[in-house]
Amino acid sequence: MNYEQIEEYVKNILTEKRFIHSKGVAKRAKELAHIYGEDEEKATLIGIAHDIAKEMPKEEAIQYAKENGIEFDEIEKNEPGLWHSKIGADIVEKRFGFTKDMSQSILYHTTGNINMNTMDKIIYIADKTEENRTNPDLVVAREISNQNLDKGLLQVAKRAISYSLGKDSLIHPDTIELMNKIVMEQKDE
């Protein structure tokens, strides 16, 4: 499927606000892919599709996960807002023929992961820094991300943790591990 077909599908299943966000992620992912020498077309496809399961009703998500062998860890079981990354990764492979590498970027876009490749980092950052997000500290994160992908990743991960703490939400261990890995790597520089 091409971008227009995926965009049309996403437009039909998401609210207008989430669709605008997804278009913003596609645009930002393309910008970052250009800066870091990654495939801009792939980044755009992943960006538009990254939240494909975000607004799936809870019961439908549970059923989809059961039918497709998707398992949630203890944190995910208690934070349904994290489910969409695993379900979305599965959907894009089956519906749109995304490769494992492409779906992995959707899998990691919410929590991060210590094994993220460059495209995974691009999608993670694009999701949190696209132009429709208006928090003032994102301006700094955007600038840093344009200069150094890992430093931008650290800024975004720190903000995600802070946001979760402010909402008394659980923080996935993958996010903590990612942040710790980047901090240790930067101390070694």
pLDDT tens digits for range 2-22: 999 999 999 999 999 999 999
The pLDDT value given to residue 29: 98
3-state secondary structure of 131: coil
CA distance 160 to 135: 12
Phi-psi domain of 133 (left: phi exceeds 0; alpha: psi -120 through 50; beta: other): beta
| Gap between the Cα atoms of 46 and 101, Å rounded | 10
Closest C-alpha to 172, from 187, 161, 180: 161
Taking the whole predicted model, whether its pTM rises above 0.75 is answered as yes
In this model, does residue 84 exceed pLDDT 80? yes
User: CATH no. for residue 112?
Assistant: 1.10.3210.10
Q: Which domain holds residue 164?
A: 3-188
Cα distance between residue 157 and residue 144, in whole Å: 13
Alpha-carbon gap, residue 139 to 37, rounded angstroms? 22
Q: Is the separation of the CB atoms in 109 and 85 below 8 Å?
A: yes
Count of domains for the chain: 1
Q: Which token pair is 86?
A: 């695993």
Query: What are 118-149's pLDDT values in tens digits?
Result: 999 999 999 999 999 988 888 899 999 999 99
Tokens 């132009």 correspond to 131
CA–CA separation, 161 and 151 (whole Å): 15
Residue ranges of E strands in 107-170: none
Phi, psi of 130 (to 5 degrees): -65, 160
**Rounded to an integer, what distance in angstroms lies between the CA atom of residue 51 and that of residue 56?**
10
End-to-end CA distance of the chain: 42
